[in-house]
Structure 1
Amino acid sequence: MVFPGIPLFRKAAIETPPDIEAASLRSDKFRLEREGDWRRLEAIVVELEKGRLRRIPDEDLLALPVLYRQAASSLSVARETSLDAGTLAYLESLVRRAWFQVYGTRTSFIAWLRDFLFGGWSAAVRTLWLDICIALAVMIAGSVVGWLLVARDSEWYYALVPGQFADTRRPGASREVLQEALQGTDSGEGLSVFAAYLFSNNSAVSIMAFALGFAFGIPTLLLLVYNMAVLGAMMWVFAQAGLHWEFAAWLSVHGTTEIFAILLAGAAGMHIGRAMAFPGQRSILAAAATSGRRAAQIMAGVVLMLVIAGLLEGYARQLVDDPWARAAIGGTVLLFWLAYFIALRGRGEESQA
């Protein structure tokens, strides 16, 4: 038995409506007219993504910006005229990849590290000179406050200095006991663990000084004052025993790097806080984002400084006993950092000078 509706249904399923057929022909014609340039652009992009720049002919490299703009124009037309989904997806992927090769950064990690160490970091630090001066003044004031508080009442020492530092190094301790606390060790056994602990402790202080800057920099200032007040209190204890020079030499081995790193971390945090408190014509979020990028670059270098400080504190300070040798190490490291941050300029700065 034959149902009269079935042949009609089959015919409708096989036939393509005229508007769809016209759109398909238009899409095919659009693709065929431009497909050669798209394939050429894709081949160039693939070679660039694989790092094979030398394999690309000069004429292709010169044509890359033109081919990219043509593909971007084709993508715009494809979106406006609602071409087939396959062509649209292909063009979107191709234009995205080509944009990165034309306008995006292609700097390798080694190249970035070279630019960072040989000019980028020092240039970023110099832009924060005002925040560094403020942080330095606050840190000096904190050490003076710690000294004066303990000199007035020795009980302040126990309120300021953490328990692990106030073992034998406390007010009233004899010169011999305090001098023994400054002695190093003849063996390097276990010093790697000690250096790792010191790096962790110093990193916590620096990260806190940086992170608290988002509260308009006020907590950063308080942390810098407290951290240096601890140092001022300990300086008073050793000075009362006549060991001020020995203590300064002992501290200088790692302190010239460690305190410098904390200074930069505090300045970076204050830079963000100052930008948020006085954003000018920008919004607070925009000011925080701009200053945060610069401060983050400085903090990347602070991490490197803290690693060096941990190694100096865990090894050099423990293996070297002579105060003059310790002072020589600390002084040399300090001169290195000053010369690095003041004298070293990147290629961009040299061209402006």
Structure 2
Amino acid sequence: MREAAFVKQNKDKWLTFESVLINKDHMHPDKLSNLYMEITDHLSYAQTFYPQSKTLEYLNYLASQSHLIIYKTKRESSKRFITFFTEEFPLIMYRYQKQLLIAFLTFLLFSLIGAYSAANDSTFVRAIMGDGYVNMTLDNIEKGDPMGVYKEQGELNMFLGITINNIKVAFFAFVYGMLLTIGSLYIIMRNAIMLGSFQYFFFDQGVGWESVRTIWIHGTIEISVIIIAGCAGMVLGNSILFPGTYTRLESFKKGMKNGLKIVVSTVPLFIIAGFLEGFVTRHTEMPDWLAIVIISCSLSIIFFYYVYYPIKKHKDQFKRLSLIPNIEELYK
């Protein structure tokens, strides 16, 4: 659709909305909220088809000025918790697929660096993991139970401890984004080097497969949470570096809000990863096929919710906006 037709089709709604914002005209909160959602849909459409245009600048203004008012007056729906995960968050996550990919590739790169370093320096793993942990693992390997570390604590204590630790790591990966994105990349790098060197250590000791089938039962989700939280930190950092058409303060607020929502989306994953590590990973006697099923299901859930589903929701939104009739064509 040509920009002029798009403006003509929707300008009455925009002016109504602007009037409410400027004059504080009374409008039912639900109706106002629905109008706001339409404005944000139009903003997304304009970002795709009319970049650098006055229309995009105007819609950015409407959206940024209205957000606080809308969420002050909007009556919370009893389904708000569900719609956050099924509707609101996937559309937010679609905007940050690039940051998610960068976080993943950074983690992959430094995992390989960690493995390479361990392969070429026999002291590297001890420097990263500590002598105590390495010696304990070597003792477990000699006893024929390489993954014995997962059986030392009680199930509930391990579940709570791991869940709290995962939350702490994800929190730092997000907050460190305020250091102009570099902080989040550092957290990703550090954890990736640790994983790569540790994983190589098991292969070097001849128990590589046993380590993979055991560690990745919980590690698939645990590592994914670190990458996703790192992505959230990049969203925060980039909002400071690249404010676009917003003021730097408004951009920072928007980046903080969206980054925090990405972190909040991982809360169920914290619990699942903690449960798996506390109650499931310790059962090293489980058959290989069951471990593979758990790992595959975990990976599928992550890919579906953070990659496939956001893209699908965006396409559905795009199709809905594309059905708006071209007024100029109708009246030729």
The structure 2 residue matched to 1:157, chosen from 114, 122, 125, is 125
The 3-state SS of whatever aligns with 1:331 is: helix
In 1, the alpha carbon distance for the partners of 2:235 and 2:314 equals 23
Structure 2, unaligned runs of 5 or more: 1-25, 29-68, 320-332
In 2, the alpha carbon distance for the partners of 1:340 and 1:332 equals 12
1:338: which partner in 2? 303
Q: Deviations over 1:249-308 (max 9, x none)?
A: 112211111111111100000111122112234332221111111111111112221111
In 2, the alpha carbon distance for the partners of 1:328 and 1:116 equals 29
The structure 1 residue matched to 2:105, chosen from 133, 137, 142, is 137
Contact 2:235 2:258 survives alignment (8 Å): no
The structure 2 residue matched to 1:280, chosen from 222, 244, 247, is 244
**Identity, % of aligned positions:** 22
The structure 1 residue matched to 2:75, chosen from 87, 91, 106, is 106
1:326: which partner in 2? 291
In 1, the alpha carbon distance for the partners of 2:228 and 2:180 equals 17
Per the normalisation by structure 1, the TM-score is 0.64
Contact 1:147 1:229 survives alignment (8 Å): yes
1:147: which partner in 2? 115
Contact 1:169 1:237 survives alignment (8 Å): no
Compute the displacement of 1:174 (Å): 8.2
1:237: which partner in 2? 201
The 3-state SS of whatever aligns with 1:318 is: coil
Quickly say closer, same or farther: Cα 1:113–1:164, change in 2 above 3 A: farther
2:318: which partner in 1? 352
Compute the displacement of 1:168 (Å): 2.1
1:217: which partner in 2? 181
The 3-state SS of whatever aligns with 1:154 is: coil
Contact 2:91 2:314 survives alignment (8 Å): no
The 3-state SS of whatever aligns with 1:169 is: helix
Contact 1:146 1:230 survives alignment (8 Å): yes
Q: Deviations over 1:101-138 (max 9, x none)?
A: 99821123x41111022233333222211111111111
Q: Does 1:313 align with 2:282?
A: no
Q: Does 1:226 align with 2:190?
A: yes
Work out the number of aligned pairs and report it.
252
1:89: which partner in 2? none
Quickly say closer, same or farther: Cα 1:350–1:194, change in 2 above 3 A: same
The 3-state SS of whatever aligns with 1:180 is: coil
Point out the structure with max Rg over C-alpha: 1
Quickly say closer, same or farther: Cα 1:163–1:202, change in 2 above 3 A: farther
AA of the residue aligned to 2:256:
G
The 3-state SS of whatever aligns with 1:319 is: coil
In 2, the alpha carbon distance for the partners of 1:280 and 1:212 equals 22
Larger relative contact order, structure 1 or 2 (CA cutoff 8 Å, min sep 6): 2
Contact 1:249 1:326 survives alignment (8 Å): yes
1:246: which partner in 2? 210
AA of the residue aligned to 1:257:
I
Quickly say closer, same or farther: Cα 1:294–1:164, change in 2 above 3 A: farther
Contact 2:199 2:208 survives alignment (8 Å): yes
Alpha-carbon RMSD: 2.9
Contact 2:137 2:149 survives alignment (8 Å): no
Quickly say closer, same or farther: Cα 1:350–1:216, change in 2 above 3 A: same
Contact 1:123 1:341 survives alignment (8 Å): no
The 3-state SS of whatever aligns with 2:250 is: helix
Contact 2:90 2:313 survives alignment (8 Å): no
1:32-71 to 2 correspondences below 5 Å: 65=27
Contact 2:236 2:256 survives alignment (8 Å): yes
